[in-house]
Structure 1
């Protein structure tokens, strides 16, 4: 619906609204302006929230109708695939393969959200188990929580957005969406899809802007629930404004994977390389710390370097490219600086680390000092740092030794080690014989510690975005 000479509009109450102010969106590889997007001011943001509240007061569509909208969107998404892929390659720097995978996952997320809407209900309370209450009948009902504000990141501009919008609508809520200002175009195309699928006016508002717009959304007390994916720093700000209102936070991470000497390296090494270096390492569960047992350390290092050297980094439009640009030139310069700083401090760089514009060649490092940022802070760049271990409990302790706890992976065929990992790794997700970065869209996904709280995954997120009430029928 957009032409090259007009900025992408806002979606408010079912209508596409253009504003006098807009901002540029850059192609992340070339650095050139890819599109312009309309900017919402405080008045429009508050209007979007008010219209959402009015839509909910008028009544959410029944569950079967909500499901049909989401199913319809899933059926229609193939017709939007090319535009979505083109947008993500440009504004997110995704390779065409990664962008295509994002669309396929988004279709599944829509279908899962539709199923959630159909089965969204409470449960029966077994009053017969309580003496004197055996004649009571009790059950819970789930109601919409209210206006949901969704603030989404640049590194998954379609599927993460739908992991918030889909479950929110499945639960009967209207959503005010503020996508990342670095990747707003994909969200607009998604909005077109949902409008065509029959999304009722007022149940999806899409507004664009920078951090100042976020502050407006946080100050408005009509918002009942905030769902956010991003940095721990911003998460703290949102939580401080939310007060007693509920939130779901998916925040920072330093993800670890542990490789034991009984692992099948023909399986583990390719998975690790992909999980650490795809999307230029800009995934919250990317393998950043890799703990490898002494007896296989040299072999894993050799094989991982060999794989990393084969990964083509560069123009995401090139079919051979597997590692595209970082989200900005500043992000790429930061990654380069962290690698150089680590090498100057004694780390060994085995391959990669060279920056060309916003692209960094995939880097494998060892002998990393613990004080270096590439070890103790979230890198969000295509680098993997190896550390050897002799005792499995030592590796678990090392993986736990961060403020974060989003996801971890362990490769082992030893059941005792697997059980110890399940018990002792303090992460929201622990993958056995997988990397930290494996995810299925139906699973409960979320962190502990400074990685946040609450769960994504349509059925789990819908529960977060609802109010559970108890009804008791007394004789």
Structure 2
């Protein structure tokens, strides 16, 4: 299966192609075009030339395109899930869930397209403001460069191109090298849904060539990126005065207070730790359990972990499959070895078969270990004992990251303290930090990035605020 770039509504080939392999089986699944500066420039120019057409398109028409896209995706949901399972080794049940969320994300985008508005301002509140009328409007920012990761290749693309289209912008999309098939699939559906030629351009290739050109080109008005902190910081440094939204790393924590019904939360915590092989920005990586319930929690968590089914992503029974690459296997095995040598206990897991790392539970890990302080992005979870909730707050906050955190407690005062004291973008009370629905504001602090996704909030990032003042004097 040989794929093509989408530039100005046409599918074009390139001189060079790379073979895309299944992370699970290692089999070749597609030939992916490698764009050069020439094709990237053509894609940016197409978006630049189409920006006025998109800006003038009525809101109801932008909404209709997005509604049509969600309907087409609903009709082809099974095919879309198969693509995700194949290119990302995402267990098919999890893949179907992502497709469902993607459909909903585009529906939210369609709805928000009709709600982009400003406000009136009472200028006579200031001396000298008498006899004047003021109001604000929101205008599309122009060309948006979108760079997306492999872990939710369909829904995280939707979180960039959905609000971009809703706001009347044009897009140059660079999907992750391992997961371009889902991006090409969506692009085909958008053509069918009536999106004008040049409004969406999909360019695959090297981050150094394609990504850098998108970030540095003056015709691109905004960069929206989801990925690693190192790349995010590099983008920020190169972007100049462009608007930038960065969704970066995390090592999300949950606090388990005494008095919590452990049986009620175990399944949820296991899902948070191991869904999509832990390759989730808000995957549950650190658990801080109160000493009164620590032993019970650990015992039941390990028991539930050992019941998970590991195997072929296309098998509906599979809970966990392969990590995205062999490099990630080597990295995580090395981190587990460091943890063991650093005095931590590997309570279960740690074994590898092919590109599969079995779900791993680590106890008594020091905060300085890589599995504690960096983002594992793998099926690894730490469970640590705390003497007090205040200690747990300090440990969750003792991190370079701050995307989301959770707390389970029966005490309303403790819950309110958590909401106030946890230094993260989102606090989940009586839930895992892995909770996300697609219209909520989503983003973090510290090295987790800045700006917010979630359709309404992304549209605010992707539009410029204009002030209009009438002088009636």
Q: Please confirm whether the aligned pair reaches a TM-score higher than 0.5, indicating the same fold.
A: yes
Which residue number in structure 1 is paired with residue 192 of structure 2? 196
Structure 2 equivalent of residue 422 of structure 1: 419
Equivalent position of 2:319 in the other structure = 322
What SS is found at the alignment partner of 2:62? helix
Paired residues of 1:127 and 1:136 also in contact (CA < 8 A): yes
2:82 is the alignment partner of 1:86:
yes
Query: Residue 440 of structure 1: SS of its match in structure 2?
Result: coil
Query: In 1, distance between residues paired with 2:436 and 2:409?
Result: 19
1:313 aligns to what SS in structure 2? coil
> 2:177 aligns to what SS in structure 1?
coil
Q: Secondary structure at the match of 2:221?
A: strand
Tell me whether 261-270 or 26-35 shows the greater mean CA deviation.
Answer: 261-270
**Which residue of the partner structure matches residue 398 of structure 1?**
395
For residue 351 of structure 2, the aligned residue among 329, 354, 370 is 354
1:256 matches 2:253: yes
Instruction: State the match for 2:365 in structure 1.
Output: 368
Deviation of 1:220 (Å)? 1.0
Residue matched to 1:283: 280
Secondary structure of the residue that 1:249 maps to in structure 2?
Answer: strand
In 2, Cα distance between equivalents of 1:473 and 1:111: 37
Select which of 296, 300, 308 maps to 1:299.
296
> 2:153 matched to which residue of 1?
157
1:49 aligns with 2:44: yes
The alignment of Structure 1 onto Structure 2 pairs a total of residues equal to 470
Residue from 185, 210, 213 that aligns with 2:181: 185
Alignment match of 1:146 (pick from 139, 142, 145): 142
CA distance in 1, matches of 2:261, 2:469: 55
| Equivalent position to 2:58, from 62, 68, 91 | 62
CA contact (8 A) 1:313 1:360 kept: no
Q: Cα offset for 1:163?
A: 0.3
CA contact (8 A) 2:142 2:220 kept: yes
> Corresponding residue for 2:374?
377
Q: 1:114 aligns with which of 110, 115, 122?
A: 110
Structure 1 pair 304–59 and aligned structure 2 pair: CA distance change class (3 A): closer
Q: Normalising by the residue count of structure 1, what TM-score does the alignment of the two structures yield?
A: 0.97
**Distance in 2 of aligned mates of 1:365 and 1:115:** 44
Structure 1 residue 224 and structure 2 residue 221: aligned? yes
Aligned twin of 2:121: 125
Q: Comparing 257-266 with 430-439, which one deviates more in the overlay?
A: 257-266
Q: 1:339 aligns with which of 317, 333, 336?
A: 336
Partner of residue 22 from structure 1, selected from 17, 21, 45: 17
In structure 1, C-alpha distance between the alignment counterparts of 2:463 and 2:340, rounded to whole Å: 50
**Which shows bigger deviation, 111-120 or 364-373?**
364-373
Distance 1:369 1:406 in 2: 21
Cα drift, residue 137 of structure 1: 1.5
Q: Alpha-carbon deviation of 1:79?
A: 2.4
The CA RMSD over aligned residues, in Å, is 1.1
Instruction: State how far apart, in whole Å, the 2-side matches of 1:363 and 1:159 are.
Output: 27
Aligned equivalent of 2:432, options 413, 431, 435: 435
Distance 1:409 1:126 in 2: 41
**CA deviations over 1:29-76 (Å, ceiling 9, x no partner):** 011211111121101101111111111134531111100000111111
Distance 2:281 2:172 in 1: 24
Q: 1:93: how far off?
A: 0.7
TM superposition shift of 1:378:
0.6
Would the aligned equivalents of 1:375 and 1:385 in 2 still touch at CA under 8 Å?
yes
Equivalent pair of 1:80/1:193 in contact (CA under 8 Å): no
In the other structure, the counterpart of 1:100 is 96
Divergent runs of 4+, >6 A: none
| 1:339 CA displacement | 1.3
State the SS of the aligned residue for 2:76.
helix
TM-score (norm 2): 0.97
Q: Kindly indicate whether the alpha-carbon contact (under 8 Å) linking 2:82 and 2:314 is maintained by their aligned counterparts in 1.
A: no
